[in-house]
Amino acid sequence: MNRNHAAALLTSIGAFSLSLGGAMAQDNGTMKSMPGMHMDAGAAPSGSAGVKLGDLDISGGYVRAMLPGQPVGGGYITIHNGGKSDDRLTSVTSSAAGKVELHEMKMDGEIMKMREIKGGIAIPAGATVTLAPNTMHMMFKQVKAPFKQGGTVPVMLMFDKAGMVDINLPVVSAKGN
């Protein structure tokens, strides 16, 4: 709890100083428009402040506010591996949800489908991996209270090599799913 509280303070400080992480999340070219999908380039106005964990820089995280009746929530984040060895995001947990799964979106014919990524997400040496709408996301299940715009959702990310880190993700507008 104390760690989460400290992270919340850090996150709110970061929100005032246009974090580099947020800028990177918008500039790295992962935002592509796709037929039938809303894309909102302004969806991540700042995101979570940059956090360093070993060789990893983790930034620009956010979750979307949940619409009434929406059973699950979606979250996004950018991870850069500045080291010389590959790492892997193995799992995510949150005190705000019964469980958090890592999902990817895949076109199946003309239908966008999502499925769980088994075994976690590879973060190769030197690579930047972005969980973003239409690619990969954190899926929050058994959510305790619907995510509200302006709030934060605490997550703990677990990596194979770098270990674990607590981050508070700001909740942004629900539109653009």
Q: C-beta of 112: minimal distance to Cu ion in Å?
A: 11
Of 80 and 137, CB closest to Cu ion: 137
Nearest to 162 by CA among 82, 104, 98: 82
What 8-state DSSP symbol labels residue 65?
P
Under 8 Å CB-to-CB from 147, ≥6 apart: which residues? 63, 64, 65, 66, 73, 96, 140, 153, 171
Of 32 and 115, CB closest to Cu ion: 115
Of 7 and 139, CB closest to Cu ion: 139
Binding positions for Cu ion, rule: CB under 5 A: 103, 114, 139
Q: C-beta of 141: minimal distance to Cu ion in Å?
A: 9
Q: C-beta of 72: minimal distance to Cu ion in Å?
A: 7
Residue 74, phi then psi, degrees to nearest 5: -115, 140
Of 20 and 114, CB closest to Cu ion: 114
SS3 (DSSP) at 78: strand
Distance CA 177, CA 174 (A): 7
**Residue number, nearest CB to Cu ion:** 103
Q: C-beta of 13: minimal distance to Cu ion in Å?
A: 30
